[in-house]
Amino acid sequence: MTKDFPIEELQKTLSETLFDLEAVPYQQAEPEEFETIVFDGREKDNTKWKALITEHIRTAKTFEIHCWKEETDEIALVLQYGSVKQKNWKYGTIIEGNVTSEFRDMLLNLPKPSDTPDAYRMMTPFFGIMFDNGFSSEHYGTENHFKLKQRDDKI
């Protein structure tokens, strides 16, 4: 320290200052409410799923898509619109990218999968689709979650 301000004086001043501090009251944020829409396999096509995605992709800036590692065709498709996110998910690959008009067109023009035993339930070939606005479409589009304030009406 300087010759004009001995360390003992500094310690005393700091201690007094710390004791004079007052805690700011904790203000709890309002909990966000989410809605879930489940497609249970009774849909003959993915029209309702596409309507839901269309609604939420409008405000999304970025995406994440999760694919199982054996879903090589799906991974290759999404890699055209993003890049691998470095995560240690030993069972699959996570691809992230920006929501562009090309990505949007690809996603909204995908047919309902029909080439697997569980295809009757699947709305999309991707295991998980997440947007930065809080929307997620999981388990091949069968479970869809979003913040209530994002929607103006029901499908």
- SS3 per-residue string spanning 56-104: HHCCCCEEEEEEECCCHHHHHHHCCCCEECCCCCCCEEEEEEECCHHHH
In-domain check, residue 4? no
In-domain check, residue 24? no
In-domain check, residue 107? yes
In-domain check, residue 22? no
**What is the overall mean pLDDT for the chain?**
87
> In angstroms, how far is CA 116 from the centroid of its own chain?
26
The pTM of the full predicted model, rounded to 2 decimals, is 0.75
Average pLDDT of span 79-85: 97
Average pLDDT of span 36-51: 92
Please indicate whether residue 18 or residue 100 has the higher confidence score (pLDDT): 100
Domain that holds residue 100: 34-150
Structurally, how many domains does the chain consist of? 1
The pLDDT score that the predictor gives to residue 153 is: 53
In-domain check, residue 128? yes
Give the integer Cα–Cα distance in Å for 59 and 5. Answer: 57
The pLDDT score that the predictor gives to residue 13 is: 80
The pLDDT score that the predictor gives to residue 1 is: 45
Average pLDDT of span 112-138: 91
